[in-house]
A and B are shown apart, each in its own frame.
Chain A
Amino acid sequence: MNKINTINDLGTLREKLQSYRKSFRKTLILCNGTGCQASRSQDLIGSIQTELVKQGFATDILVRATGCHGFCEQGPILVVEPDNTFYCHVTPDDAEEIVRKTVAKGELIERLLYTDPVSGKTIPRESDIPFYKAQDRQLLAQNRQVDPCNIEDYIAIGGYSALAKVLSGISQKSVIAEIKRSELRGRGGAGFPTGRKWEQCSDAPGDEKYVICNADEGDPGAYMDRSVLEGNPHLVLEGMIIGAWAVNAWQGYVYVRNEYPLAVKHIRTAIEQAREMGILGENIFGTPFSFDVEVARGGGAFVCGESTALMASLEGKVGEPHPKDVHSVVDGLWHKPTVLNNVETWANVPVIMQNGAAWFAGKGSKNSKGTKILALTGHIKNTGLVEVPMGTTLETVVFTIGGGSPGKAVRAVQTGGPSGGCLPLDKLYLPLDFDALAEAGSMVGSGGIVVMDEDTCMVDVAKYFLTFLQDESCGKCVPCRLGIDRMLELVTGIAEGNGKPEDIDLLEDLAWTVSETSLCALGKTAANPVLSTLRYFRDEYDTHIHEKKCPAGVCQALITYWVDPETCTGCGVCLKECPHSAVKGEKKQPHEIDLALCEKCGICKSSCKFDAIQVR
């Protein structure tokens, strides 16, 4: 790799790279994100390459292993360009056929195509798939165009041109003004206006300033930041360099959790390559501006995603939050002015600088602009990463893109991770908007959307999130440590049938105390799962308390299993499977469950082929 000494060099290099890319007859794009790797995508890449050599296509076909494409449900994914052919659930054994038919002759392999669940027809082209069609993929679409470990790929698709534009004569004030005009709000959860944050940091006294990328993503079921950092690390780097230029920082950090090994590896490679090319380090593009980035790995504490705890952790101290009476834009890392932004926020910066603030502000709703990446998980057909303009309704996300729950009705949607709330079905008309969701008692948060079907007990959901938060609270301040503990105690009591009517008031009072007085954002939002379930699913709590019943059949203490003698065929499967020998009965005769022995594990129910075991 040659060092880029002037801004013009970048343009020349880009033209060279683009013509090199065009010289290939076809490009095989293979998703190699963490999700697809778990489904053996690395073996697939190996066998595709072997087959290409074997069948003599090694020179005119380009194979690109990319980051996450988003449609994780269908992984491993293979896209053939320029035809835009989309193959899903590809296994290493399919490699030979793909090369023989699709690569050599351009034929489609019917069984590997995506089948639309609504019409039942196969869809050959990626862009026609409803999952992709309803999205507006400004950031995610780049993932499939670049090999994350190859800076040249990123340059070829126009990467670092926003940085070049900025460094070729846009003043620091104008960069901040542009970001402010775009009305970009932080994507990490709080939705603080990014431009204002930069401006405050830029105005703060001191020569030594820092920028930090927060990649300590820890919400259960959320993986937007991981996929962006894994799939397109240079986009994040470019954003950080532009941000550093705007606030006049000389050093940046990427704080990424160690549980994301691929993201750590890719961002490290990206930094190495950018340094080699002269995009990081002394005199970027031959200008007087110098900036470097280092990677810091987090130990996996959820609370370290909180800004002050993250900075403490970066400084080598215990990752605990401290009071924020003076903001980190003035007194941040090592008591210096610091800009801390989320991965997705940084990734939006080059896009804004490239396309202009007006373009960005043209997308989205009144107070929330641009697009947002969401991680769609839970009881949903199309699990994956979705990017939609802000202001899109949750209904569109869950039903049009996500396809709803498989076989069952959607009951609730949990947005914003443990700090967010559960919204019932009749609230799904709400737009994905920072203010609208906050008003409804939930939040956009980092963008995790967990869909729950009708078999979900809301008391159990509150219990789950409280258990998570109890484990992840740092334990420093009283309301968070003891308050969450007591809320969990109360909710567990309700789930076990020991709930008293006055528990609800106490729970509300406690939730209010915890959210008002906790030290950091973890505690301040910890009550949201309880408050939102109480607000929208109060009847469910009441049924648990007054009738001692769990309507969804989840809370073990409140349910009993019984065998419906009409449908039981006496096949004996449940009898064999029951680990507690609680199922009794003769062969070919309806069985019975001995309630004294039954531990309510539910194995009998899941093993029964005839739906004869019911929950009461």
Chain B
Amino acid sequence: MTQYVNINVDGMSIQAPKGTSVLDAALDSGICIPHLCRVPYVADIGACRLCIVENVLNGHSKITTSCTLRVKEGMVIRSNTEKIIKLRRNIAELLVAEAPNSRAVQDVAKRCGVRDVRYSFHNSNCILCGKCVRVCPGTLGVKPLTFVGRGKDRRVEAPFNLKTELCNDCGRCIDLCPMTVVPCLGAMKTGEEHLCVNCEAKMDFIEETPGLCVWCYFGEGFQCQRHDLGTRGRARA
């Protein structure tokens, strides 16, 4: 039988099955915590850092990613304090400045409240979320996709840059890649230092209803789990 624990997210009491992550528990209860590098049912690595929350323990709050944090009885989580919102916006700003042409990144940046970007735009085609690497089944546990290099040289590549026979062309990596989501109409071009008009209009909506799940607007872009489930008209088990 599944054991449940009680946690408190943003003042809301939630019952979550033991062993799930705080992010899963929150998403299942309709609390939207932005996330980008998460793949359902695959181990989280905490790379994008967008799902940061404050874990309040004995009066001290510790900032940590909710995807890697397992629920524990009596846990108190704050996901939308002023500090968290500001930090999340700064991270999203870094991401959108790195890969401005991805709709997924743009959407999540908008969701996090990025209005203008203070950095010059890089035109990367990978934000190293690692979804592809983690989801790749490979053959016999040997993966044709992996992270190569360190720091600013880190990239996703086939080992030794060879497409090996280990790849069975399942295409899961392409499905999940946030860079392959069809760009929205107002996608930024290199050198354009503002977000598109469409997106800014949606921003107002978010500011009026903070903490509310907005999957209907942005979830598709950054592949929010709630959006996926919502579009399938799922019922909670």
Contact = CB atoms under 8 A, between A and B. Distances in A.
Interface of A: 301, 303, 318, 322-323, 325-326, 470-479, 481-483, 485-486, 489, 506, 509-510, 512-513, 516-519
A478 B97 CA distance: 12
Nearest to B22: A325
Contacts of A513: 87, 90-91, 94
Interface stretch (B149-157, B202-210, B226-234): B149-157
A481 B154 contact: yes
A325 B152 contact: no
18 contacts: A325-B69, A470-B151, A471-B151, A472-B150, A475-B149, A475-B150, A475-B153, A476-B45, A476-B154, A478-B94, A478-B127, A479-B91, A482-B95, A513-B90, A516-B63, A517-B49, A519-B47, A519-B49
B79 interface: no
5 tightest A-B contacts by CB?
Answer: A475-B154, A323-B68, A513-B90, A482-B94, A473-B151
Contacts of B23: none
Given A486-B119, A519-B46, A325 B151 contact: no
B151 A474 contact: yes
Interface in B73-128: 83, 87, 90-91, 94-95, 97-98, 118-120, 127-128
Contact of B91 (A303, A470, A475, A517): A517
B68 A485 contact: no
A325 B22 CA distance: 12
B147 interface: yes
Contacts of A506: 118
Which residue among A477, A506, A518 has the maximum number of chain B CB atoms within 10 Å of its CB?
A: A477
B191 to A, nearest CB: 16
Contacts, number: 93
Given A475-B128, A479-B94, A509-B90, 6 more contacts: A475-B154, A477-B49, A478-B49, A478-B127, A479-B49, A481-B154
Given A486-B94, A517-B49, A323 B154 contact: no
Interface string B130-147: 100000000000000001
Interface of B: 45-50, 52, 63-65, 68-70, 83, 87, 90-91, 94-95, 97-98, 118-120, 127-128, 130, 147, 149-154
B47 A325 contact: no
Nearest to B64: A325
A474 B150 contact: yes
A512 B154 CA distance: 24
Given A472-B150, A513-B90, A477 B63 contact: no
B150 A473 contact: yes
Contacts of B150: 301, 303, 471-475
Given A473-B151, A519-B49, A478 B91 contact: yes
A470 B152 CA distance: 7
B94 A483 contact: yes
Contacts of B46: 322-323, 477, 519
B52 A517 contact: yes
A322 B151 contact: no
B152 A323 contact: no
A482 B45 CA distance: 17
B78 to A, nearest CB: 14
A477 B51 CA distance: 12
A471 B154 CA distance: 10
B152 A485 contact: yes
Contact of B47 (A478, A512, A516): A478
Contacts of B118: 506
Contacts of B50: 478
Contacts of B152: 470-471, 473, 475, 481, 485
